[in-house]
A and B are shown apart, each in its own frame.
Chain A
């Protein structure tokens, strides 16, 4: 009796400990999920805060005289410089003038050129236009350069700050929407750099990738799921596809370099080669998704078609394929989204060059959006760090759109048999 009560006491005491262990175990789980999600939020917040500034760019209102001499010489930057001299007549020494010119972007002249091209009648007239400032002034306006730091330790001199303050007093300097970021190609000057070139490069690469991997993937899936005999060879193909899906992407880059560039002598840096490498990479994903979609079509559909005299090929083409197509498309979009974010294999085949022009076809030299992010992330300028984050935001927006599209597609065509 006595012995039993001590036993139950022991169990009671142990129970408390066991319940505490139970609680602790649950908290570990919650903590693990919290850490993962917190990291996700911190990362998005850090990139968002850094990047949002790049969607605006400092512009300065300049009164420019589009005189014929400069226009004929194509010296557009000269017009900008003359106008700066007029705005700040007190600046006389050569060194100060040079500094003054650096307030404006070295590409400000291009804006004038575009303006005159649009309305040639402007030649000879005087007009006030908003032109982009240099990246340092832009950073100053956005507060990224601390005015209280000693002059030698910051990228903007006291003189430049005084000029900017003068402009602020005259309301002649302000942050405007950074259109160039969405319409320009790459540039050494952060204020002139845009993502359109790399977006087009990504677009052409993905186009090639889609045109190759979608039909090939679906046909391969069709064969493996519907026609292939069950034997060792088919098993091997299947194992092979599963393994290919897990091969590091950089290995595909090496394959592309050895095969497409050195053996087939296709052009370096071209979206054609990039698309081909990405197609080989996404093919296993698409095959696996397409097979799953075809497997989800119930056998009764096939039996009904075969029963009324359709051939096996007709059964698959007329009945199974249309029913499986939404699922296949969903898988393909997800595969394309992965291909869009892929960087490493594109580095191998030379889509990492500095390219200013916006590519117009699959044979032009191009970069891709993630590669552009990689390139800008390497640039020392403060303004490029901002633009890198902004380019990441653009990339994520594309990815979210594609994933949402895939989810919607799945929801719309989801069928329960």
Chain B
């Protein structure tokens, strides 16, 4: 009796320790997988930073950030004319801002009003139909939007411009910005929708109680209360617009123009990254390194926007929970 008990224990023991080691190894696997996300960020930062440092050894940082001339053709021969290679990125920044601004001008009112209508006015059945339709817009690949902007909308705009005696470039900032605006409508509308729905009903009831109409309630009570969430959505949308690539690669221009005229062609940071890096060239030339410097700027700006936006959205969510 006394001998049987330890024996059965000793039979069970090895398999249990085996199970425990197995589980420990398994957990380490899990930890390792969750590290991949952190490593990705580290990889992005490291690769952008290293190449950018090489670039800034050749081109001073101030020239890059404040220079007004962008023509990344480095000279093949020493005596070649007009090809010293200028890396002043200001025209790219203004071009990006111009197109993003057009996109926001389109997307913010449409997205916000769509969200208000869906959240406050629409019947359940309308909501069930319209929301998925708007989400389709979010699911369409950007290359499709780019095709539409470049081959359908841009010629229309050009034709319309000609009809009223207006000179619209065939690669105008307007076409790219309009289509990009449509693309980010669902982002703004769904985040605004969440924010509006999170406003407690009691606040609306209070406003109705003192005699306000529905639209007055929305404008004076609901929107101010939902504003942080809506702002978060708008910032996320702006970050998306700045980082968007395919629409501008296909519909915006390649030449760096320092202009605020939406009918002219401008180029953007992402367009230049693509043009500098597609095609064959040696990896260490200032031209290719410039793309990484632009990538670094892009990453830092979008990261800042995202961090601020996600924080606002998160804080706001906690406020009413």
Contacts and interface: CB of A to CB of B under 8 A. Distances in A.
A343 B110 contact: no
A341 B307 CA distance: 26
Contacts of A115: none
Given A374-B250, A377-B150, A36 B185 contact: yes
Interface stretch (A40-48, A93-101, A103-111, A155-163): A40-48
A167 to B, nearest CB: 31
Contacts of B113: 28-29, 31-33
A414 to B, nearest CB: 16
Nearest to B239: A246
A242 interface: yes
A284 interface: yes
A21 interface: yes
B30 A219 contact: yes
A386 to B, nearest CB: 11
B121 to A, nearest CB: 6
B216 A47 contact: no
Interface string B104-118: 000001111110111
Contacts of A82: none
B67 interface: no
B110 A257 contact: no
Given A223-B31, A227-B30, A258-B292, A243 B307 contact: yes
Contact of B148 (A35, A46, A219): A46
Interface in A225-244: 227-228, 236-237, 239-244
A259 to B, nearest CB: 6
Main secondary structure of the interface of B (DSSP, over half): helix
Contact of A227 (B27, B37, B48, B134): B27
B93 to A, nearest CB: 15
A337 B141 CA distance: 9
A368 to B, nearest CB: 10
Nearest to A368: B143
A304 interface: no
Interface string B79-113: 00000000000000000000000000000011111
Contacts of A389: 147
Contacts, number: 247
B306 A257 contact: no
B47 A254 contact: yes
B17 interface: no
Nearest to A36: B185
Contacts of B219: 25
B151 A228 contact: no
Contacts of A33: 113-114, 117-118, 130, 134
Given A40-B136, A283-B37, A22 B110 contact: no
Given A39-B182, A43-B148, A370 B143 contact: yes
B162 interface: no
A290 B137 CA distance: 24
A248 B121 contact: no
B246 interface: yes
Interface residues of B, number: 84
A330 to B, nearest CB: 14
B29 A219 contact: yes
A220 B246 contact: no
A385 interface: yes
A294 to B, nearest CB: 12
A18 interface: yes
Contacts of A403: 139
Nearest to B145: A43
Which 10 A/B pairs are nearest by Cβ-Cβ distance? Answer: A248-B243, A29-B117, A341-B141, A258-B47, A32-B113, A223-B30, A25-B215, A219-B33, A344-B245, A220-B34
Contact of B23 (A223, A287, A311): A311
A352 B239 CA distance: 26
Interface in B132-168: 133-134, 136-137, 139-148, 150-152
B4 interface: no
Contacts of B270: 248, 250, 344
Interface in B178-215: 182, 185-186, 189, 213-215
A251 interface: yes
Contact of A223 (B27, B145, B213, B218): B27
Interface string B253-277: 0000000000000000010011001
Contacts of A337: 139
Interface in A325-351: 337-338, 340-344, 347-348, 350
Interface stretch (B5-13, B56-64, B296-304): B296-304
B233 interface: no
A22 B117 contact: no
A126 interface: no
B292 A254 contact: yes
Contacts of A31: 113
A217 to B, nearest CB: 8
B244 to A, nearest CB: 7
Interface in A245-291: 246-252, 254-255, 257-259, 262, 280, 283-284, 287
Given A246-B239, A385-B151, A220 B33 contact: yes
B171 interface: no
A21 B215 CA distance: 8
B38 A240 contact: yes
Nearest to B24: A313
Contact of B144 (A247, A262, A385, A396): A396
Nearest to B271: A250
Contacts of A37: 130, 133-134
B95 to A, nearest CB: 16
B147 A392 contact: yes
Contacts of A252: 44
Given A248-B302, A388-B147, A399-B141, 13 more contacts: A19-B213, A21-B215, A21-B216, A25-B215, A37-B133, A39-B182, A223-B33, A246-B239, A250-B243, A252-B44, A254-B291, A255-B44, A395-B141
